[in-house]
């Protein structure tokens, strides 16, 4: 039992942190169009060129480093396709393009990252399939803070030579990491706000009604982060379902708190809060949401009726 990063993972996370500090700053300042999201194309390219998306397959980094990276990247106010690239792609075979869009169990409707994606991955109990994209994706307007799209045109699917259950587990871990990171990023933003913003002659963050709710949120996020890292280390289906269920089940209350404590400012497009909370709203419902993750867990730990 050792809950600290090994040396390689520590270096990896330090270098990543430095890149994100720059990029997050940049991303924060270039919110000029006040859009619902900003795709961090520059960050994406730099991470890709520096090989960050391949960490999961490197022995001394592994899925733990990949999951930690997904969490950290998701904290930034800009959005990039990281989760599937960092935790699925290394295990899907050779020559898999990225960015990736992922659909599970033929979920209907618009898909996250489809406008940017160069391939779509479809996960079901029976198979994991891939279709390369070349202009078939159509962007869709959306409430969510992700580039969303639908398929407009024929796709040619290939079945990948992988274990669908293992890929499903990886995807649960990736989603848990991304949702945890998104909530953590939003929490950081709200903490900065309530430390500064004064009402009744004192900072909002000095009121206990505010403090306790944010403190609870922090406990859930941190517990979720550790559950996710454990799942990444052990690649165990029960661990993965538990991590995802835990963070999805708390995302609703956390998202509510984040908006409440920023008042009207949090409803503007000028402030990027929505870039975290409206990613969280999308992720909260992925793979059927917390109840499905919990049912998966119950099946694995306790079996049937």
Partner 1 sequence: MDFAWSDENDAFRTKVSDFLDQNLPNDWQAIARHGPGSREQTEFSLSFCPQLAAAGFLVPHWPAEWGGADRPTWEHFILGEEMWAAGEPRGGQYMNVNWIGPVLMRYGSEEQKHRYLPPMAAGRAIWCQGFSEPGAGSDLASLRTKALRDGDDYIINGQKIWTSYAGLAETCFLLARTGEGRSGIAVFLVPMDTPGIEVRAIPSLIGHGDIHEVFFTDVRIPSSCRLGEEGEGWTIISYALANERVGIPRYEMSSRELDAMVAELKSRGGFGNAAIRTRAAEAAAACDAARMLVYRVVDERARGEPPGTAANLARVAVVEADHKVTDFGMDFLPDCYSGSDHAAFQAHHERAIVTGIAAGAAEIQLNLVARRHLDLPKGA
DSSP 304: -
- The count of residues interacting with partner 1 (CB under 8 A) is 51
Find all residues with CB under 8 Å of 116, minimum gap 6, and list them.
39, 81, 99, 147
Residue burial 266-300, b: 16+ Cβ < 10 Å; e: rest: beeeebbbbbbbbbbbbbbebbebbebbbebbeee
- Give the DSSP letter string of 73-96: HHTSSSB---HIIIIIGGGS-SS-
The two tokens of residue 58 are: 């490197």
Q: How far is the CB of 105 from partner 1 (least distance, A)?
A: 17
For the segment 125-164, give every residue that binds partner 1 (CB under 8 A): none
Binding of partner 1 by 199 (CB under 8 A): no
Question: Is the Cβ–Cβ distance between 80 and 44 less than 8 Å?
Answer: yes
Binding of partner 1 by 13 (CB under 8 A): no
For the segment 222-261, give every residue that binds partner 1 (CB under 8 A): 222-224, 226-227, 229-230, 233-234, 241-242, 245-246, 249
The one segment of 74-82, 145-153, 163-171, 209-217 that binds partner 1 by CB under 8 A: 209-217
Which is nearer to partner 1, 98 or 246 (by Cβ)?
Answer: 246
Binding of partner 1 by 305 (CB under 8 A): yes
The one segment of 94-102, 146-154, 219-227, 262-270 that binds partner 1 by CB under 8 A: 219-227
Find all residues with CB under 8 Å of 250, minimum gap 6, and list them.
183, 217, 220, 221, 224
Binding site for partner 1 (CB under 8 A): 1-6, 9, 64, 191, 194-195, 202-203, 205-208, 210-212, 214-216, 218-220, 222-224, 226-227, 229-230, 233-234, 241-242, 245-246, 249, 290-291, 293-295, 297-298, 301-302, 304-305
């Amino acid at each position: 039992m050792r809950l600290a990063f090994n040396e390689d993972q520590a270096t990896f996370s330090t270098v990543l942190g430095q890149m994100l500090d720059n990029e997050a700053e940049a991303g924060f300042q270039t919110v000029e169009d006040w859009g619902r999201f900003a795709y961090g194309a520059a960050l994406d390219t730099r991470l890709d060129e520096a090989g960050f998306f391949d960490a999961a397959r490197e022995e001394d980094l592994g899925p733990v480093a990949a999951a930690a990276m997904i969490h950290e990247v998701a904290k930034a106010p800009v959005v990039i396709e990281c989760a599937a690239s960092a935790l699925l792609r290394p295990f899907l075979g050779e020559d898999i393009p990225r960015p990736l869009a992922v659909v599970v169990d033929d979920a209907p409707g618009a898909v996250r990252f489809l406008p940017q994606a160069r391939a779509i991955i479809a996960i079901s109990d029976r198979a994991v399939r891939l279709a390369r994209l070349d202009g078939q994706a159509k962007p869709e307007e959306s409430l969510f803070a992700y580039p969303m799209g639908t398929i407009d045109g024929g796709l040619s699917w290939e079945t990948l030579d992988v274990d669908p259950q293992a890929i499903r587990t990886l995807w649960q871990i990736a989603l848990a990491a991304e949702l945890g990171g998104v909530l953590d990023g939003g929490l950081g933003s709200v903490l900065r706000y309530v430390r500064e913003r004064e009402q009744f002659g004192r900072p909002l963050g000095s009121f206990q009604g505010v403090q306790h709710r944010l403190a609870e949120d922090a406990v859930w996020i941190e517990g979720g982060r550790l559950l996710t890292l454990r799942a990444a280390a052990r690649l165990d289906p029960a661990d993965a379902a538990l991590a995802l269920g835990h963070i999805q089940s708390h995302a609703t209350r956390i998202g509510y708190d984040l908006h409440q404590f920023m008042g009207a400012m949090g409803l503007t497009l000028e402030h990027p809060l929505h870039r975290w909370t409206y990613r969280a709203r999308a992720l909260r419902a992925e793979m059927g949401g917390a109840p499905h993750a919990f049912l998966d867990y119950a099946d694995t730990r306790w079996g049937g009726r």
